[in-house]
Amino acid sequence: MPELPEVETVVRGLAPALTGARLLAIEALFPEQLEGPPALYQRASGALIEGVRRKGKYILLDLVPPAGARQQKSAPRHLRLMIHLGMTGKLLLSKASEPLEKHTHAILHFRRSGGSGQLRYVDPRRFGRFVLGAAGAESDPERLVAGGREPLEIDAAEMAALFHGRSGPIKNLLLNQNLLRGLGNIYADESLFRAGIHPRARRLSRPRLYRLHGAVREVLAEAIAAGGSSISDYVGSSGEKGWFQVRHRVYGRTGEPCLRCGTPLRRVVLAGRSAHFCPRCQKQK
């Protein structure tokens, strides 16, 4: 399940291959899954891929259409493609000769100095999104990105201020993309364990919020360095697996002994998601 570290890994894999490349066409194999006006998909043909970015769990491709397409009246100058991987989405750099994976919904054909290639968008469960729109316009898909802060950019005092006065369980707050964007179930649970905070804890004191801030940064940085967590079927843009899952201390370990104190780990449901925690190491107050 791609969260910030997985999406960051994908973007780091895509950027060198796609930045400066020419998008030849977007081939729609399952058009129902692709959002945005069909005319824009036409206009994207021949566009320069100016950049590949991550914002929260979203991947953004900035596209500059060729001059001819740009000069049409009312035609937007720049286009933007936004991809959210949902639970099972993948973006794979492939050669045309490689066999198509099941549930491939779109193929981006591109060409660069080194030759031609494909970027394939695969999403069996279709929880992901693939949206093309005009940059800066009403339809700009970047507007769909939640307004939370980047957890690796916010400092401890800012995060404490952001969370202060919120009444909900801390786990719910960590999953709220309008506060911090990029944390999902795995890294929220892992961060809370490292900070010694119970997922149901509310109205955390300032020192505990500072500790949580440090834990979030630490977990995300380690996970990015490890190439993300390959649970379910996550892989990077070259099909490579991450290995942070072997360092998970609570996620998916219900009933197993806590690595710190040996107490069996427990699971409760919060915000409709499983929260994994150590009942002894993680305190409500």
Sheet bearing 48-55, strands edge to edge: 34-35, 129-134, 79-84, 58-64, 48-55, 22-28, 104-112, 115-122, 90-94
Pick from 46, 124, 141, 151 the residue near DNA by CB under 7 A. 124
Q: Which is nearer to DNA, 65 or 141 (CB)?
A: 141
* Cβ at position 193, least distance to DNA in Å: 14
The yes or no reply on residue 151 touching DNA (CB under 7 A) is: no
Give least dist CB 30 to DNA, A: 10
Contact between 168 and DNA by CB under 7 A: the answer reads yes
CB proximity list for 114: less than 8 A, separation 6 or greater: none
Residue 57 known to be catalytic? yes
Calculate the alpha carbon distances from 251 to 47, 58, 115 in Å.
42, 23, 42
Task: State the residue for tokens 């900035």.
Answer: 62
Of the pair 185, 282, the CB lying nearest DNA is at 185
Binding test (CB under 7 A) with DNA, winner from 78, 156, 271, 280: 271
- The reply to whether 142 belongs to the active site is no
Piece of the chain touching DNA by CB under 7 A; list 111-119, 168-176, 221-229, 258-266? 168-176
Q: Is residue 59 a contact partner of residue 84, using CB atoms and an 8 Å limit? A: yes
Active-site residue identified among 2, 5, 124, 151: 2
138 has catalytic annotation:
no
Kind of pairing between the strands at 34-35 and 79-84: unpaired
Q: Is residue 1 near DNA by the rule CB under 7 A?
A: yes
The beta-strand segments (E) located in 87-239 are 90-94, 104-112, 115-122, 129-134
Which entry of 12, 143, 267, 273 is annotated as an active-site residue? 273
The phi and psi torsions of 275 (rounded to 5 degrees) equal: -110, 125
Residues 33-92 that bind DNA (CB under 7 A): 56-57, 84, 86-87
From the list 57, 129, 171, 217, the catalytic residue is 57
Contact (CB, 8 A) for 80 and 140: yes
Active-site annotation, residues: 2-3, 57, 273
Which residues lie near DNA (CB under 7 A)? 1, 3, 56-57, 84, 86-87, 102-103, 124-127, 144, 146, 166-169, 172, 175, 177, 184-186, 233, 271-274
